């Protein structure tokens, strides 16, 4: 019962307090620009009736799935290789550390030049945003695997491939999953920013289009809240995956 209060009721109570404060702030300030909660809800319902809400959500999620999926498929094996091989890390890591601090948003002009206005540009930007956190955390996770695990498996005659997949990967999995979770949050931020410039659909495009077409700030805030809710849902989903028993090998138990 106490856990349910902490995880459900208290967040809902805080949300009610925030909405109430928002409504009162709009009323007391007398602003004609920033919308009250009721107008935001009405704007969201308007988007639903116009039939654009679900297609825009779908487009954003598909772009994230493709870019993030490609980053995970390439980043986890590369990070494990770099963590396993000091020689490979010495060669490749300087390039990764050079490119990693560059914001994916800074790549938008390059992405448009390379891929034009369309789906490939935001997918590429999502890939860049997710790829480097995944590589770095996978590399650090493999590097932090206790050597006793490796030596024990070698004593049983495990091949290098079997050792890497059967011992090192499970032991490094907690840090790899943390990197995947962080990368998913970054991917969701990047796709919204990219959609404001490089495409004509998606939640990012919805926000910038509502701002430019009549300054519909009720639709702008509705899109912002929807982005936040989807981001929350994605984070909860990843947390649930982390708790699966089959993935708990290597987690410290208190």
Q: Give 168-220 as a DSSP string.
A: IHHHHHHHHHHHHHHHHHHHHHHHHHHHTTS-SSSHHHHHHHHHHTT--HHHH
Q: Is 70 exceeded by the pLDDT of residue 32? A: yes
Question: What local confidence, expressed as pLDDT, does residue 73 receive?
Answer: 95
Question: What local confidence, expressed as pLDDT, does residue 68 receive?
Answer: 95
More confident call, 93 vs 198? 93
Please, which contacts does 242-249 make with residues 24 or more away whose CB atoms are closer than 8 Å? 242/177, 242/181, 247/173, 247/177, 249/170, 249/171, 249/173
**Residue ranges covered by each domain of the chain:** 37-247
Report the C-alpha gap between 34 and 39 in whole angstroms.
10
Which range is most confident: 39-48, 154-163, 165-174, 237-246? Answer: 39-48
- Residues 211-228, mean pLDDT to the nearest whole number: 86
Q: Is 70 exceeded by the pLDDT of residue 123? A: yes
Alpha helices, DSSP H, located in the chain: 2-4, 10-29, 37-50, 53-84, 86-99, 108-115, 120-143, 147-155, 160-163, 169-195, 203-212, 217-242
Of 141, 140, 241, nearest in space to 184 by CA: 241
Question: What local confidence, expressed as pLDDT, does residue 124 receive?
Answer: 94
| Residue 236 DSSP one-character state | H
Question: What local confidence, expressed as pLDDT, does residue 60 receive?
Answer: 92
Query: Quick one: pLDDT band at residue 163, thresholds 50, 70, 90?
Result: confident
Tokens of 65: 């799935």
Query: Quick one: pLDDT band at residue 252, thresholds 50, 70, 90?
Result: very low
Options 1.10.10.60, 3.40.50.720, 1.20.140.160, 1.10.3720.10; CATH for 37-247 is 1.10.3720.10
Percent share of the chain, pLDDT over 70: 87
Supply the pTM of this predicted model.
0.84
Distances (CA, A) of 131 to 66, 119, 138, 195: 12, 18, 11, 19
Q: How many CB atoms lie within 10 A of CB 245?
A: 6
């Amino acid at each position: 019962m106490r856990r349910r209060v902490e995880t459900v009721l208290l967040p809902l109570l805080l949300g009610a307090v925030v909405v109430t404060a928002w409504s009162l702030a709009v009323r007391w300030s007398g602003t004609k620009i920033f919308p009250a909660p009721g107008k935001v809800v009405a704007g969201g319902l308007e988007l639903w009736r116009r039939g654009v809400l679900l297609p825009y959500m779908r487009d954003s999620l598909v772009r994230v799935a493709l870019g993030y999926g490609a980053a995970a498929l390439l980043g986890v094996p590369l990070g494990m290789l770099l963590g396993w091989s000091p020689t490979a890390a010495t060669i490749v890591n300087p390039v990764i550390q050079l490119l990693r601090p560059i914001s994916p948003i800074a790549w938008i002009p390059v992405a448009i030049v390379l891929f034009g206005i369309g789906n490939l540009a935001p997918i590429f930007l999502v890939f860049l945003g997710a790829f480097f956190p995944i590589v770095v955390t996978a590399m650090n996770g493999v590097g932090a695997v206790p050597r006793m695990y490796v030596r024990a498996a070698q004593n049983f005659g495990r091949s290098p491939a079997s050792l890497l997949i059967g011992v090192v990967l499970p032991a490094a999995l907690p840090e790899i999953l943390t990197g995947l979770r962080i990368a998913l949050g970054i991917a969701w931020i990047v796709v919204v920013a990219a959609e404001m410039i490089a495409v004509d659909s998606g939640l990012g495009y919805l926000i910038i289009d509502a701002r430019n077409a009549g300054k519909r700030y009720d639709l702008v805030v509705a899109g912002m809240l929807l982005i936040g809710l989807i981001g929350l849902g994605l984070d909860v989903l990843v947390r649930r995956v982390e708790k699966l028993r089959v993935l708990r090998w290597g987690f410290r138990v208190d």
